[in-house]
């Protein structure tokens, strides 16, 4: 696998990045849901809940792919 500036494969870095951003966004969306509910916008709250669910599924898929890659090759740092 090609390695980027981090010393990890580009694919591993990309998956970790997507996973991180999905988890971070999911955390933030919880506040958005509360804001919408408090304002009486249940339809908007439902939209944010759906987006949060999609990001959670995306993060879980990244986790699965990282695990699969880990069983196929060394996913740790490539620097000595």
Coarse DSSP helix, strand, coil percentages of the chain, rounded to the nearest 5 percent: 75, 0, 20
DSSP state of 4: -
Confidence of residue 72 (pLDDT cuts 50, 70, 90): confident
Is it the case that residue 78 has pLDDT exceeding 80? no
Who wins on pLDDT, 5 or 62?
62
Beta bridge partners of 3: 9
Q: pLDDT tens across 30-61, in order? A: 999 999 999 999 999 999 999 999 999 999 99
Who wins on pLDDT, 77 or 16?
16
């Amino acid at each position: 696998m090609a390695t980027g500036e981090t010393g990890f494969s580009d694919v591993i870095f990309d998956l970790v990045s997507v996973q991180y951003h999905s988890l971070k966004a999911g955390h933030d969306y919880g506040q958005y849901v509360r804001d919408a509910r408090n304002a009486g916008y249940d339809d908007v709250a439902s939209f944010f809940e759906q987006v949060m669910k999609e990001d959670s599924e995306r993060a879980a898929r990244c986790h699965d792919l990282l695990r699969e890659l880990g069983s196929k090759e060394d996913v740790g740092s490539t620097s000595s």
